[in-house]
Each structure stands twice: as structure tokens, then as C-alpha cells.
Amino acid sequence: MKYIQFIVILIIIITCENLAIYGQSETLVEPPKQSLTSVTLKAGPIRSDIYSFEKDELDDVSIESRSGFSAGMSLCLGISQVFAIQPEIMYSIKGAKALKLDGGTIREYYDLELHYVEIPILFKFVAPIGGTVRGNIYFGPFGAVNIENKSRLHRVIAETNTVVADEVPTEFNDRFIPFDAGGMLGGGMSFRLLGTELMIDARCSLSAVSLTKGDEVHNRTFSLMIGITF
């Protein structure tokens, strides 16, 4: 829920700032294109972590989010002036940091780094926000394939935080499910600046597929994208 609230607040702030700037500088900013059919190249940072529907699933670990990156392209297929279907293909680096809370002298610290190729299918609603900027909200399902797993296990002496082992936990990594699927929600805006159409959006995604075999742990991400539309 905090991810969704942050997205809404961010979109409102960006919209207000852009309306003020564009209203004062009509020579630099042009109205957005009328056609909704377009191709966009986009990229941006990700913050990701893991969550569970089961209350006791993560009781023995402390979860922290980790930084990642996402890049790819989207094809916006305009159905009308206010509605479009937008398939995308994205390369995304997700994961989390998990510290095992066993109370012993050796702590186990997992750095989960998972690389996915994602294909979201988004239903997009578009509306003008004044004469110089166009806003949008979207939602839809996504599917993903895990193409690389760079997760590592660090064993640390609790009192000194000295790393005594840094290894790839093969048995642990073999438990990861090689595909993912879930839902995505977001919103953003597009505008033309100096002859180029730019876009910015914020989105969150929640996985419905368990991250590992035998557990009910799922990916959760928040990302901020910027891009150029053709």
C-alpha cells in the first residue's frame, strides 16, 4: 500500500510542477501528439523487496529493499483518444536483502539479485492535463522469465561484522522458480520538449508467483521510468 500511495503523491507533485513551468514557457514546450499509437524507449531505477501473504513466513529474517535497474521498450496501441493497450518488454534487476535472525555468533546475510525479462500487458487511460501535458494511469498483468541469478550468501561474525564467507549458495539458488507473474499499477505523463516527446512514470508491481519452491514469498517492486517516445 505504501508503494501505491507514493506513486499517487509523486504523480500529483510532478503534474503541478509541470503545469506551472509549461504555462510560463510556451516557446520551449509543445503540446503532446494527438495519436496514442507510439513506441517508447524507457529506463529507470528500481527499489525491490520480498513479501509474503503468510504472517509467519518471514518471522526469522529481517528484509531490506535493494536497488536495481530496468530498461526496455513499449508499444502503445491507441484504441481511442483516451484508451490504449500497451505491451512492453523490459529487462529488470530485482531482489532483496535478507538477514537471518538466529541469535548466534555467525549471521547469514543473503543478497538476492534476480535478473528478469518481463512482458507486461497494460491497459492505459490517457487524459490532457492542461494544454501542454498529457497524463495517464495504467494497470495490467505481467509475465517474466528469470534469466540469471546472482544471489550470494555472506556469513558474518555478529559482534564485529567481519565477513567470514562469501559464496554462491547453490542449493539455495536451485530453489528459485524460473518464472514470475503478477500485476502492475502506475501512472505518469508525456509532453513535447524542444521537438522531442518525453515521458515519465512511476509504477509498482506485485508478484503472484512464489519466489522459491516450498515458500510463499513474492517479489515486490517500485520503479521510476523516463523515456523518449517515437
Asked whether residue 211 carries a pLDDT value surpassing 60, the answer given is yes
- Is residue 191 within 8 A of residue 22, CB to CB? The reply is yes
- Among 15-19, 22-26, 218-222, top mean pLDDT goes to 218-222
Percentage of the chain lying above the pLDDT 90 cut: 47
Could you report the per-residue pLDDT of 192-208, keeping only the tens digit for each? 887 788 999 999 999 99
Question: Among 4-13, 46-55, 138-147, whose mean pLDDT is lowest?
Answer: 4-13
Amino acid 98: pLDDT: 84
Domain that holds residue 161: 2-229
Asked whether residue 102 carries a pLDDT value surpassing 70, the answer given is no
Asked whether residue 34 carries a pLDDT value surpassing 50, the answer given is no
Q: Domain total for the chain?
A: 1
Q: Which CATH number is 172's domain given?
A: 2.40.160.20
Mean per-residue pLDDT of the chain: 82
Could you report the per-residue pLDDT of 62-96, keeping only the tens digit for each? 888 999 999 999 999 999 989 999 999 999 999 99
Could you report the per-residue pLDDT of 121-179, keeping only the tens digit for each? 999 999 888 777 899 999 999 999 999 988 888 777 767 767 766 777 677 778 889 99
